[in-house]
Amino acid sequence: MPRLVSLFLTLLLVGTVAACGAGTAPQLKVLGVERGDLATSGRHIKLFVEVVNHDRRPMRLQRLQYVFGSDAAYARGEVALERTVDAGSAVVVEVPILLDGDDDHLGSDEMTLEGKLFTEQDSIVQSYAVRARVDRSGTAAAVAQP
């Protein structure tokens, strides 16, 4: 009998921990791309990304690791986000990017954003895979997946 009680309590604890850590994946949407001035090693752009928290608890955005570009221009990096998204709310974050490659073809090709979004809820850090195709107008929807 003590073994059965111990097993029950262990399963209850595991279920509780799993439920606490299981949050709703945030939704990402690329709102636009702002082109900047030419730099010596590429072109500066700003990527504007909306992050929506569908969960019932606030979510703290930590960082975004990304690869962004096309065959003509490319960038890899990480940006600290340090923003809180309230439950059921959205925030827009700015991702500064320095593209390497052929500046003359920037915007003529479809570009792709891939990476990982790191968030924290209730002291639990999670990462979500992110992928979006950005068309010539600079907008596209992206989905974050645990």
DSSP state at residue 103: G
* Residue 19 to residues 8, 27, 54, 60, 87, Cα–Cα distance (Å): 16, 20, 16, 18, 17
Scan for tokens 């608890």, then name that residue.
Answer: 57
Q: Considering Cα of 25, then 26, then 29, then 33, what sign does the dihedral take?
A: negative
Q: Indicate the range of 21-25, 65-69, 115-119 predicted with least confidence.
A: 21-25
Q: What is the arithmetic mean of pLDDT over 61-72?
A: 90
pLDDT in tens, 6-47: 544 444 444 444 444 456 889 888 888 887 765 454 578 888
CATH class of the 25-145 domain in this structure: mainly beta
Contact between 51 and 117 under an 8 Å Cβ cutoff? The reply is yes
Taking alpha carbons only, the member of 59, 75, 58 closest to residue 67 is: 75
Higher pLDDT, residue 65 or 38: 65
Residues 18, 9: Cα–Cα separation, whole Å = 14
CB within 8 Å of 81: residues ≥ 6 apart: 61, 62, 63, 64, 93
